[in-house]
Amino acid sequence: MLKLFSLRDRVALVTGASRGLGWAMAQALADAGARVVLNGRDEATLQARRAEIEAAGGLADVAAFDVRDRAAGDAAIDAIVARHGRLDILINNAAFGVPRDFFDISDDDWRVSMDVLLDACFRLSRKAAAGMVAQGWGRIVMISSVNARIGRATNTPYITAKAGLEGLTRGMAAELAPHGVTVNCIAPGYMATDINTAFRAEPGRYEWIRNRTPMKRWGAAEDLMGAALFLSSPASAYMTGQVMVVDGGMTVVI
């Protein structure tokens, strides 16, 4: 039965993998046997993470590029295929947040949010999916958020982009399913990672989220490891176009 979760001989690209959710998911895929290509913008940090995976007995590579740069993303995927012969799994995880009131959001704030959280996922998925279709197997995993379905003040660009990402998932899933490629989402709840350090630093907000969650805690990056492995593995072969919510129960209670 464990063979269903094996990623031996698979090659995976995880964006935003130098820290937080991306790093945890990259470790999960490496532990399952995949060669994991770590993406981020800082080469030195990625190389240090690569060394950690290799020290634990895993296989890793790095691809340092800004996901907003289409040419760099295309070139990175071409390089991965040239170096390793294939790309089987793409996890679109790179994140960005602009915690500002609605009337204080500039056009540039909005554009960067859409470019990182939605447009880059479309471009990288389109590029990766071409090779996956050709080989007849692939897994694309989008990292959405509970904020795709529930709102919060000062978070409008993020909410909008994540809702669009779930629509992109459904559209891609419908088109790619006949070719052996699945496309699914993970929607995390509020996770204790670097991206929301300032939010968590305010005791009132921290406790508000904790008490709003039936499990009475914020999520940890490690809480996504199982979901990421499942959606990247043969175990999820008959599942596509779906959103797996990992939120400690937050969105099922009033």
Catalytic machinery residues: 158
Closest CA to 251 of 204, 213, 209: 213
Phi/psi for 114 (5° steps) reads -65, -40
Question: What's the distance, Cα to Cα, between the start and end of the chain in Å?
Answer: 38
Rounded Cα distance, 88 and 73, in Å: 16
Alpha-carbon separation of residue 109 from 90, 115, 146, 156, 243 (angstroms): 26, 10, 21, 11, 27
Helix (H, G, I), strand (E, B) or coil at 8: coil
Four-point Cα dihedral 168, 252, 194, 41, nearest 10? -10
Distance CA 70, CA 143 (A): 19
Task: Tell me the C-alpha to C-alpha distance, in Å, between residue 244 and each of 157, 185, 236.
Answer: 22, 6, 12
Exposure of 4 by Cβ count < 10 A (0-12 exposed, 13-18 middle, 19+ buried)? exposed
